[in-house]
Amino acid sequence: MNFGGIFDLPTKQKELEELEKEAMDSNFWNNSQRVQTVNQRISTLKDEIGEFDKLHNTVDDLKVLLELAIEEDDSSMESEIQNGLSVVKTQFDKIELRLMLDGEFDENNAILSIHPGAGGVDAQDWAGMLMRMYLRWCDQHSYITEIVDLTAGDEAGIKGATILVKGTYVYGYLKAESGVHRLVRLSPYDFNNRRHTSFAAVHVTPEIDDSIDVEINAEDLRIDTYRASGAGGQHVNVTDSAVRITHKPTNIMVQCQNERSQHKNREIAMKVLRSRLYDHLRAQRDEEIAKLQPERRNIDFGSQIRSYVLHPYQRVKDTRTNIETGNVDAVLNGEIDVFIESYLKVKPDEK
């Protein structure tokens, strides 16, 4: 079986060699942004080539086993061969899915934001549940997470959170989660234990580095500092280290209070602002294009992308792909790959 043509292995190997040669240059380390970009790309290429090699070796081993079984007319190897074929299919499906992530920023890190909708404490609690779900998912995939901003809810949950997720193809996968998520359950905050419907919005943007031209003029920014909030104790800052940046022309506001250093918080906040501004400009462009095309359904609180029902039955259903499962606990513990993969496999004109 020849997978090289499908995966364009020679091109990837050549690119890896060129980048590793660049990394050996004595001047390479003078540009920290280039260092970060190149190192991440090297890591991505090594992962992709490694996946191909793993698949190739599995197929070779399976061919030897099959030839041996035929030669010796040994049917006892049938189970082992079937298991091997199952492994090959799993590895192939993984690589095939990765090949679908060919968008401009699919390889990038992602900035994940979660905000509760109408519904008071129930909605804030639901936003907190979603944050836990995504942190679990990231942990399962060995992605690094950095909580940029977090505002606790009045009684439970969160009023908002911004999380930087680092890893190869993080944005490519997480972009499937952008939209409104709906929860139906018996409210633990209702004295009469009635059923409530809560909403929370998830927004995912790619982390944009300095190689992408996003014009930000200093005079367009309002930068405020304040004392970071916290749960109390040793983690509460006693200086005005938290940073809030407002882009006045668009009224886009970002903030960061995770770091003790005001300089570091400002650096991270600017990184988030670049991403949000790029996304804003791209949305404006898409809106202009959309005016020339048939009207599309808006994503709002009347058209959620996924429903999580805990009562009167248990089910999670993605309204875009109709994929559903009754194992709600597993989903809320981060097992959402089935929804992400199904969405990515849908043709663009069907989304």
Residue ranges in the chain assigned as alpha helix (H):
4-7, 9-23, 32-72, 78-100, 120-140, 170-174, 262-290, 328-332, 337-345
Query: Which residues have C-beta within 8 Å of that of residue 95, sequence separation ≥ 6?
Result: 3, 7, 48, 51, 52, 55
Say if 212 falls within a structural domain: no
Shared domain for 125 and 252, answered yes or no, is no
Shared domain for 138 and 165, answered yes or no, is yes
Domain with residue 195: its CATH number is: 3.30.70.1660
* Enclosing domain of residue 129: 110-207+305-350
Where a domain ends, among 55, 71, 100? Answer: 100
Give me the DSSP letters along 161-216.
EEEEEESTTHHHHHGGG-EEEEEEEE-TT-TT--EEEEEEEEEEEE---TTS----
Which amino acid appears at position 142 of this protein?
S
Domain with residue 258: its CATH number is: 3.30.160.20
- Residue-level pLDDT at 2: 46
Count of domains in the chain? 3
pTM: 0.72
Shared domain for 114 and 193, answered yes or no, is yes
- Residue-level pLDDT at 87: 86
Shared domain for 92 and 173, answered yes or no, is no
Say if 105 falls within a structural domain: no
Say if 298 falls within a structural domain: no
Shared domain for 237 and 186, answered yes or no, is no
Say if 117 falls within a structural domain: yes
- Residue-level pLDDT at 211: 58
Shared domain for 9 and 90, answered yes or no, is yes
Where a domain ends, among 48, 79, 100? Answer: 100
* CA–CA distances in Å: residue 91 to residues 51, 95, 140, 175: 8, 6, 18, 23
Where a domain ends, among 243, 262, 290? Answer: 290
Give me the DSSP letters along 272-307.
HHHHHHHHHHHHHHHHHHHTTS------STTS-SEE
Residue with tokens 């990515």: 344
Buried b (16+ CB within 10 A) or exposed e, 301-323: eeebbbbbbbeeeeebbbebbeb
- Residue-level pLDDT at 290: 52
Shared domain for 188 and 39, answered yes or no, is no
* Distance between CA atoms of residues 237 and 227, nearest Å: 7
What residues form DSSP beta bridges with 201? Answer: 115, 180
Say if 72 falls within a structural domain: yes
Say if 341 falls within a structural domain: yes
Cis peptide before 294 (omega within 30 of 0): no
* CA–CA distances in Å: residue 117 to residues 174, 180, 245, 251, 320: 20, 9, 23, 20, 20
For residue 61, give both structure tokens.
Answer: 């081993």
Say if 297 falls within a structural domain: no
Shared domain for 153 and 276, answered yes or no, is no
Closest CA to 216 of 166, 288, 272, 148: 272
Which amino acid appears at position 17 of this protein?
E
Q: What is the mean pLDDT of each successive set of 10 residues along the chain, which is 351 residues long?
A: 60 89 88 80 85 87 89 85 87 82 87 90 96 98 94 92 93 94 93 89 85 80 83 50 92 89 90 88 68 41 84 95 97 97 78 62
- Residue-level pLDDT at 7: 65
Shared domain for 278 and 141, answered yes or no, is no
Task: Classify residue 138 as exposed, middle or buried by CB count within 10 Å of its CB (0-12, 13-18, 19+).
Answer: buried
Shared domain for 9 and 95, answered yes or no, is yes
Domain with residue 43: its CATH number is: 1.20.58.410
Question: How confident is the model over 258-293, as pLDDT tens digits?
Answer: 888 888 899 899 989 988 998 888 787 667 645 544
Shared domain for 169 and 316, answered yes or no, is yes
Which amino acid appears at position 174 of this protein?
L
Shared domain for 200 and 234, answered yes or no, is no
Say if 295 falls within a structural domain: no
